[in-house]
Amino acid sequence: MSPVPRRTGNLAAPSIVRIFAMNRKALALAIVVILGCREHASPTLAAERAGGAGDSGVRKQSAPIPASVGEARKTPVVRVTHDIMPAVVNIQTESVIRQRQFDIFFGTPRQRSFKTQSVGSGFVWASDGIIVTNAHVIEGASTITAIFHDGTESEATVIGVDPDSDLAVLRVEARDLPSAPIGTSSDLQIGEPVIAIGNPFGLSGTVTTGVLSATGRSVPSREQARTFTDFIQTDASINPGNSGGPLVNIEGKVIGINTAIYADAQNIGFAIPVDRAKKIVEDLRQYGEVHRVWIGLGTATLTPEEARRVGMPPMRGALVTRVFGSSPADKAGIRPGDVIIAVNRLPIESREAFSTSTATATAGQRIAVRIRREDDTVELHLVPVDPPADLGLVLLRDISGLGVREAAGTLLVNDVEQGSRAAEVGLRGGDTIVGVNGVRVDSVKALNQEVTRGADRSSIVLAVARGRYVYTLTFPTGN
């Protein structure tokens, strides 16, 4: 069994996991993602904050390397660290936890509230106050403070969060911030030196070095029941509190965002490639959410064992299970049963890898898709488009046979097509839809958004209430 990675989070993971489990019961609608957790703020950091200067709106650039430091000591790592450190920030969050307790003496319930503090890392993406960090670093925060290398601090507001990619964009009211040079992850070389900078265990401004160990890593997460793909692997030490900090190359350019570690291993850390982050960050800045394109096909992971089972030659790839009519995939000539083995010359070995390879595509961008069709290898080109406004409702109807309506603030099943999957499982008009893909919904708009957001999933999962019971129903996107 593969070890399970966790985010670079808390100091005492087992106890924190138990606390989060209690919070999920206390806060019925809270969804806690634990690939790992944030680190609790240390007394040292609290003392540093207390002595920090007020925010003047302008950050001082770092002083030059002292003249007393000889050239032999000014190694590439020293120069890079000196130049990029002013752009790295500590992220401190405060969350208010409310628990409902029962008074055993008076027999009445009462509300108990308490505050928790956590810390993580981030870096200045743009000098006009834009900071990038991990989504899990600020999850559930009521206040967020960015603490800069010179000791000043600013309250940060959230511009947008994308839990699927574990990225968040913050803004501080400041100008002329020293920003981190943004590089590319398209030409990474195995073995090249890398530098991780962040706030592990509340120790601000910590620098660790290593090499780029691998690219394209798939990282399974039991807590989210999914696999993250295309991660950068490094042996530079990434510890609790490093989440959201930059991974830079020896030229001082950001190539990744530090995100996760293997809990039971040493020096196996993972970072989100910066090229994948670029579109997500720009979308969050512009729209407050990620604008994903519409391709119009469903896929499933094909392994050599599964290929042999269905009578195909042993291979790996993303098996096309469904092609929606008039979609970009349909127009490109992709058919159910095709196996996608490469996208823009990058090998594809799973459904998640295919989803990741198209996640940063923009509407109108031409994508080369190499497929195996029976005994032939064919290269096709598809052009993604912006999702239609009612795409989620169309997909729900096409896949399950359900129509929906709103009534008195409730989302109801309006009609069920005869012979559809919904009819087969016994759904009927008047049933109440309370959730989709693990997210609570109570309107047609919310349902449409969530189904559209999960359009590349292998299934749609509905939570349907009837009487006193709630049923979880799964509708595969394949034919």
> What are φ and ψ of residue 95, in 5° steps?
-120, 145
Active site residue 243: yes
* Tokens encoding 145: 């403070």
Q: Could you confirm whether 166 is annotated as catalytic?
A: yes
Which one of 40, 121, 136, 185 is the catalytic residue?
Answer: 136
Instruction: Identify the residue whose tokens are 């052009």.
Output: 383
Q: Output the CA–CA distances (angstroms, integers) from residue 259 to 116, 276, 445, in the order listed.
A: 21, 14, 32
The catalytic position among 204, 213, 243, 357 is 243
Of 40, 42, 166, 221, the catalytic one is 166
Report the length, in residues, of the chain: 479
Based on its alpha-carbon atoms, the radius of gyration of the chain, rounded to whole angstroms, reads: 24
As a whole number of angstroms, the distance between CA 243 and CA 36 comes to 9
Q: What is the DSSP letter of 400?
A: H
Local structure of residue 182 (DSSP, 8 states): B
The tokens of 386 are what?
Answer: 């912006």
Catalytic residue status for 118: no
Q: Count CB atoms within 10 A of the CB of residue 55.
A: 17
Contacts of 125 (CB under 8 A, 6+ apart): 131, 132, 169, 179, 180, 182, 281
In SS3 terms, 274-296 reads as HHHHHHHHHHHHHHCCCCCCECC
**Spatial distance between the Cα atoms of 340 and 350, rounded to a whole number of angstroms:** 9
Catalytically annotated residues? 136, 166, 243
